Amino acid sequence: MKKATIQLEALACPSCMQKIESAVKSLEGVDKESVKVLFNSSKVKLDFDNEKLSIETIENAISILGYEVKKTQVKDL
Amino acid sequence: MQKLQRFVLTKKNPIALISAILIIVAFTGKLAFKNVEIFTWSLIIASILGIAPIAIQAYQALRVKVVSIDVLVTIAVTGAFLISNYEEAAIVTFLFLFGAYLEQRTLNKTRSAIKELTEIAPQSALKQMENGEFEEVEVDEVDVGDILLVKTGAMIPVDGTVLTGEGHINEASITGESVPVSKKKDAQVYAGTILENGTIQIVADRVGEDTTFGKIIELVEEAQDSKSEAERFIDRFSKYYTPAVLVFAFFVWLFSRDIELAITILVLGCPGALVIGVPVSNVAGIGNGARHGVLLKGSEVIHDFSKVDAVIFDKTGTLTIGNPKVADTEFYTNDTEGVLAYLASVESESDHPLAKAVVEYIGDTEFYTVENTDVVKGGGIVAQVDGHRVVVGNVALMEQENIPLNEKVREDIARFEQKGNSLVLTAIDGELKVIMGIRDQIRPGVKEDLQKLKRLGVKNLIVLSGDNQGTVDLVANELGLTEAHGHMLPEDKAAYIADLQAKGQIVAFVGDGVNDSPSLALANIGIAMGSGTDVAIETSDVVLMNSDFSRLTHALGLTKATARNMRQNIVIAVGVVIILLSGLFFSDWVNMSIGMLAHEASILVVILNGMRLLGYKLR
């Protein structure tokens, strides 16, 4: 398992949070409980299983929604 | 297809601009040239362009089973299009896009205070490579155990230990204290602090988010997004509210067959200002605090602290400086110089706080060799100096050593104790030579700040201390506190807090965060003061970044202002919806464009209202 912190461009609408949260949670291999979308600091924090999916897949799921991924940090749990 | 979606979404702002131009062209065409063709076609193009990004967002939201505002607007605009009301369709999409742009701009402003904090985080470091040379690398590439070089004027990139060199470091970003601290080999240094002079090499002990500075940033970031009970309620509410508006509009259409009315309801029902109003106050309030050295751990803390009834203080180090000083002296000899030299020689061997105060008070003097030192527990020191027997300690030790204390001395002792002093008596060769009264100084400005707390509505100001009741009463009288209790152990303090809470009071506890952690944890609001240590950050709800007492009054004033600001925003948001809906049903001035205009305006009003908090200062 790895812990990722994804910095996005500034989020403006609270419904963006719901969208991003649902999109990330629907990915296989992401720990649903751990997903946290921080509205004001525009960050997504989550734990995921790096054997089931790559960090790029997660980034892609977010950027398809139209939110630019600025920086990603992945750490071992 | 995905690429097209993303392209359209990134071009929202240019699209809003083009819509605006097309709308102007349309109305010039109609009013100046009486040309209906230009009017209609310009508006049709504007509507289609404008709805594209909104529709894409609506589609994406629906895919993850969220009925967002975009869904409401898309249906409303499509409806307007179907009944050939291009004017409404174009204006509504334009207002929605332009509103989103303004929201983004103003929101960034409210977040600016916290951004400033994260942006001062160290970015690069000089790391020792395998060949022994130092090279500049990104701070993320530094691992625990790496050796780093820090030059004059640079920021310390990680928490570490000094390996070689020495210098003065400004630790204001961690402790709030801006007087530089001298650091030598083996001293701890912290990320985010600045080396003002000298050059040092350090070993990295903790990096990135594990550093004290990293933890402070993480705490503030999490705090601004933490949610109070009220906010969670609003979130749940808006989750069902938006679909409910959709269903309601559908039934209105079903029974009235009036598409115009149904789509107007869709636009009026958008919950924009309600969902954004509270987070905006929260982020601006926490941002203001971060700028002023007050870390507030989230909106729940703001809510509780704004309603506080009783503030309990630890005495030493909180109300007082925590650095005892000699305040009164009385000599019983003419040879003061000689006595002080003997006294300083004995006391300089001890690290007892009272001994330190004595040495500091005497300052520069002749020092003698001290022999046969005997430390009497709970009494003082007996030693041989320059061939004389010197006894330094309290009254009990003097009696034990059979030093005669005459009537005058007894009177002096009583007088000193009344002033709240701890006593140090010195006898040489069986004769009392001097008594010194040592006491802790009250922090400057504390009295005025306590008055401010009272004016802000705190009913009880209480001091709890391990000191004797006399000393505590003295401090309480001088400062105008409502209650004072001495002889308190940490568990007594915690029990006292629980007792007050049982009486229905909301209690804040102000302490130094180390030995008071049970009280800090138990109180409704635990306030750690005077240090940015890990323990303080973790166990408390509010951290005051340095020992400046006025930050406490700022913190209370700020939480009250923030709580008030949230209530104002809720009233504005709900008020606008009520006025619009009653306007729709009971008069005829409300249409779709006016509804959208009022909504976007109310969103901007709540954001601007929240932004006022950034400049908040206690008067």
pLDDT tens readout for residues B334-346: 888 888 999 888 8
Domain membership of residue B80 (yes or no) is yes
CATH of residue B180: 2.70.150.10
Q: In degrees rounded to 5, what are phi and psi of residue B501?
A: -65, -35
Strand (E) positions, B111-220?
124-128, 134-138, 147-150, 159-170, 181-183, 188-189, 194-206
Per-residue pLDDT band at B599 (split at 50, 70, 90): confident
Domain membership of residue B301 (yes or no) is no
CA–CA distance, B359 with B367 (Å, rounded to integer):
11
Compute the C-alpha angle B398/B401/B407, nearest 5°.
45
With a CB cutoff of 8 Å and minimum separation 6, the contacts of B31 are: none
Domain membership of residue B158 (yes or no) is yes
Strand (E) positions, B274-406?
294-296, 310-314, 325-331, 370-376, 380-385, 388-393
Domains of chain A in start order, with CATH, are 2-76 (3.30.70.100)
Q: Over the stretch A28-54, which tens digit does the pLDDT of each residue have?
A: 889 888 888 888 788 899 999 988 888
Stretch B496-524: mean pLDDT: 84
- Which of B146, B314, B412, B449 is flagged as catalytic? B314
CA–CA distance, A3 with A6 (Å, rounded to integer):
10
Per-residue pLDDT band at B531 (split at 50, 70, 90): low
- Domain of residue B16: give its range: 1-110
pLDDT score of B316: 67
Say yes or no to pLDDT of B290 above 90.
Answer: no
Cβ–Cβ < 8 Å for B458, B476:
no
Is A77 at the interface with chain B, CB within 8 A? no
Q: Read off the tokens for B12.
A: 């929202």
A 10 A CB-CB count for B475 gives 24
pLDDT score of B177: 64
Phi-psi region of B409 (alpha: psi -120 to 50; beta: other; left: phi over 0): alpha
Nearest residue, CB atoms, B60 vs list A19, A38, A40: A19
Are B106 and B16 contained in the same domain? yes
Percent of all residues in chain B with a pLDDT value above 90, rounded to a whole number: 14
Are B104 and B127 contained in the same domain? no
Say yes or no to pLDDT of B533 above 60.
Answer: no
Are B128 and B93 contained in the same domain? no
Domain stops at, among B89, B110, B131: B110
CA–CA distance, B340 with B332 (Å, rounded to integer):
12
Domain membership of residue B88 (yes or no) is yes
Domain membership of residue B154 (yes or no) is yes
Query: Locate tokens 């005497």: which residue?
Result: B362
pLDDT score of B472: 81
Q: Decide which of B313 and B352 is more confident.
A: B313
How many domains, in total, are found in chain B? 3
Chain B partners of A15 at a C-beta cutoff of 8 Å?
61, 66, 68-70, 275
pLDDT score of B535: 61
Domain membership of residue B514 (yes or no) is no
- Inspect the interface and report whether the beta carbons of A10 and B111 lie closer than 8 Å: yes
Is B314 one of the catalytic residues? Answer: yes
To the nearest whole Å, the CA of B145 is away from the closest chain A CA by 18
Q: Read off the tokens for B178.
A: 């801006």
CA–CA distance, A1 with B327 (Å, rounded to integer):
61
Is A60 at the interface with chain B, CB within 8 A? no
Are B153 and B96 contained in the same domain? no
Greatest Cα pair distance, chain B, in angstroms, is: 117
Domain membership of residue B165 (yes or no) is yes
Say yes or no to pLDDT of B258 above 60.
Answer: yes
The secondary structure of B414-436 as a DSSP string is: HHHHHTT-EEEEEEETTEEEEEE
Are B202 and B103 contained in the same domain? no
Reported as type and span, the H/E element at residue B537 is helix B534-539
- Answer whether 0.95 is exceeded by the pTM: no
Cβ–Cβ < 8 Å for A48, A4:
yes
Are B105 and B138 contained in the same domain? no
Query: What is the layout of strands, in order, in the sheet containing B431-439?
Result: B325-331, B431-439, B422-428, B388-393, B380-385, B370-376
Burial tier of B322 (Cβ tally within 10 Å: 0-12, 13-18, 19+): middle
Q: To the nearest whole number, what is the mean pLDDT of chain B?
A: 84
Are B330 and B435 contained in the same domain? yes
Domain stops at, among B439, B456, B476: B439
Q: Over the stretch B9-28, which tens digit does the pLDDT of each residue have?
A: 778 888 888 888 888 888 88
Are B431 and B332 contained in the same domain? yes
pLDDT score of B514: 57
CATH of residue B390: 3.40.1110.10
Are B9 and B85 contained in the same domain? yes
pLDDT score of B277: 82
Stretch B549-560: mean pLDDT: 91
Cβ–Cβ < 8 Å for B89, B47:
yes
Are B47 and B91 contained in the same domain? yes
A 10 A CB-CB count for B497 gives 26
Are B100 and B142 contained in the same domain? no
Query: Locate tokens 């607007």: which residue?
Result: B73
Q: Over the stretch B449-471, which tens digit does the pLDDT of each residue have?
A: 999 999 999 999 999 887 767 77
Are B103 and B15 contained in the same domain? yes
Q: What is the 3-state secondary structure (H, E, C) of B243-309?
A: HHHHHHHHHHHHHHCCHHHHHHHHHHCCCHHHHHHHHHHHHHHHHHHHHCCEEECCHHHHHHHCCCC
Q: How far is CA B262 from CA A46, B254, B258, B259, in A?
A: 41, 9, 6, 5
Stretch B316-341: mean pLDDT: 83
Domain stops at, among B413, B439, B465: B439
DSSP B155: B
Chain B partners of A43 at a C-beta cutoff of 8 Å?
221
pLDDT score of B435: 92
Using only C-alpha atoms, what is the Rg of chain A?
Answer: 11
Q: Over the stretch B109-154, which tens digit does the pLDDT of each residue have?
A: 777 777 777 777 788 888 888 888 888 888 888 888 889 998 888 8
Say yes or no to pLDDT of B552 above 80.
Answer: yes
Cβ–Cβ < 8 Å for B432, B425:
yes
Domain membership of residue B364 (yes or no) is yes
